[in-house]
Structure 1
Amino acid sequence: MRLVVVSAGLSVPSSTRLLADRLAAATAGRAPAEVQVVEVRDLAVEIAHTFTNGFPGRKLAAAFEAVAAADGLIVVTPVFSASYSGLFKSFFDALSVTDENALAGKPVLIGATGGTARHSLVLDHALRPLFAHLKAVVVPTGVYAASEDWGAGGLDGRIERAAGELAGLMAGLSTAPEPAGAGAEGADAVVPFEERLAALRPAG
């Protein structure tokens, strides 16, 4: 399986990347997967060019291909003005410009980092609606890490719970029977998540 991590941290080292790495390690530990990390800050110029010329550059196109082909996605952003960062949003806006169905039916784990716990609602007020709009399947548990959370036991518990949910979806979808009618003509069709989930349920 393929797990892609999209990290929108701006500094080096970055608490956003640290959270992304911990989520990826916990997920891969439950559902063995090849992990690829996309650092959005390295793609800022190509993202801007995508909006002006309509085509992603080579590195950005490769990142989009990885995201579209992933069996699961982990996305983590720093909090700016009580929401996701502009660069984080621009990455997914540019992805939608090139392929509006890239995230359709894809399991996504959302995460965010900030200086205070007061911004934890960014997960439900900003990130969850964004990925619902992109037709992704967002796992129930999002993970927010404030400055005081690092080293605290509560963060470890949230990471493990969210990773378990994402790993479960990834494993379930990877073993789902091929939908009726899929084949040479329908190989590129987007299969709604509800149909994939129904295929996992026992008959009767």
Structure 2
Amino acid sequence: MTGTTAVKRIVVISSGLSTPSSTRQLADRLAADAASILRERGVEVEVQTFELRDLAHDITNNLLLGFAPPKLEAALEAVASADGLIAVSPIFTTSYAGLFKSFIDVIDTQALTDLPVLLGATGGTPRHSLAIDYAMRPLFTYLHAIPVTTGVYAATSDWGDGGDGVRSLPDRIFRGAKEFADLVERTDRSGLVNDPFALDRSGGHLIGGLAGE
């Protein structure tokens, strides 16, 4: 068992655009279950949540100029030093939100290596539930993160009782959170070195992408 002296840091990113947001609600419930499971095992946990809509202007400026203002830099450093990431996006036109992808684009390419990730998504219809597996999961796998097997999608109707024999949303949240907690508990990323000043793109990107992508 992980010793109680090792604090596990979980970072939550939510890219919901409205207030209140079902995306934020799902993110909070995933984080609460994961933290509860770890604490029951004697693991100390710190949870830090970032609403990407609050960082939207900073993210855009970073994409254009290659410079992260203090609030965005704090979020990027939190992700790079986390023991686990919970990433939740609304689904628009069958894929994750543009704001969600833009944030991922400004993360250092090595920051997610070996990072356990619990994926969540929200939408108005159950028809978009596969977006986690065909859109979000490949994105994080490409960045060498470790997405847990269970992704949690919540349609508008899922906030009810989950009848008709379908596994209820609380059950799916708990299952995903447990898989995530299992990985976070045994993952050690202390040896990873992430250089926040490293560039993986050509210098032209810093002046609006005039050179190659």
Aligned residue in 2 for 1:139: 148
Of 163, 169, 192, 2:177 maps to: 163
Of 34, 53, 58, 1:27 maps to: 34
* 2:157 paired with 1:148: yes
Structure 2 residue matching 1:103: 3-state secondary structure: coil
Tell me the distance in 2 between the aligned counterparts of 1:189 and 1:119: 37
Aligned residue in 2 for 1:198: none
Code of the aligned partner of 1:8: S
Code of the aligned partner of 1:39: E
Code of the aligned partner of 2:100: F
> Post-superposition shift, 1:137?
0.2
* 2:13 paired with 1:6: yes
> Post-superposition shift, 1:189?
4.5
Cα deviation, 1:139-160, whole Å, max 9, x if unaligned, reads 0000000000003351111100
Structure 2 residue matching 1:78: 3-state secondary structure: strand
Q: Give unmatched runs, 5+ long, in structure 1.
A: 179-186, 191-204
Tell me the distance in 1 between the aligned counterparts of 2:159 and 2:75: 29
Aligned residue in 2 for 1:124: 133
Tell me the distance in 1 between the aligned counterparts of 2:32 and 2:127: 27
Cα deviation, 1:158-197, whole Å, max 9, x if unaligned, reads 10000000000011124x9x8xxxxxxxx4448xxxxxxx
* 2:61 paired with 1:69: no
Structure 2 residue matching 1:101: 3-state secondary structure: coil
Of 79, 90, 102, 2:102 maps to: 90
Tell me the distance in 1 between the aligned counterparts of 2:193 and 2:19: 40
Aligned residue in 1 for 2:51: 39
Structure 1 residue matching 2:20: 3-state secondary structure: coil
Tell me the distance in 2 between the aligned counterparts of 1:2 and 1:142: 20
> Post-superposition shift, 1:25?
0.3
* 2:22 paired with 1:15: yes
Structure 2 residue matching 1:76: 3-state secondary structure: strand
Structure 1 residue matching 2:129: 3-state secondary structure: helix
Code of the aligned partner of 2:112: L
Cα deviation, 1:96-126, whole Å, max 9, x if unaligned, reads xxx2100000000000000000000101010
Of 120, 124, 127, 1:115 maps to: 124
More helix per residue: 1
Aligned residues: 177
Of 69, 73, 78, 1:57 maps to: 69
Tell me the distance in 2 between the aligned counterparts of 1:77 and 1:188: 27
Structure 2 residue matching 1:112: 3-state secondary structure: strand
Aligned residue in 1 for 2:110: 101
Tell me the distance in 2 between the aligned counterparts of 1:51 and 1:34: 29
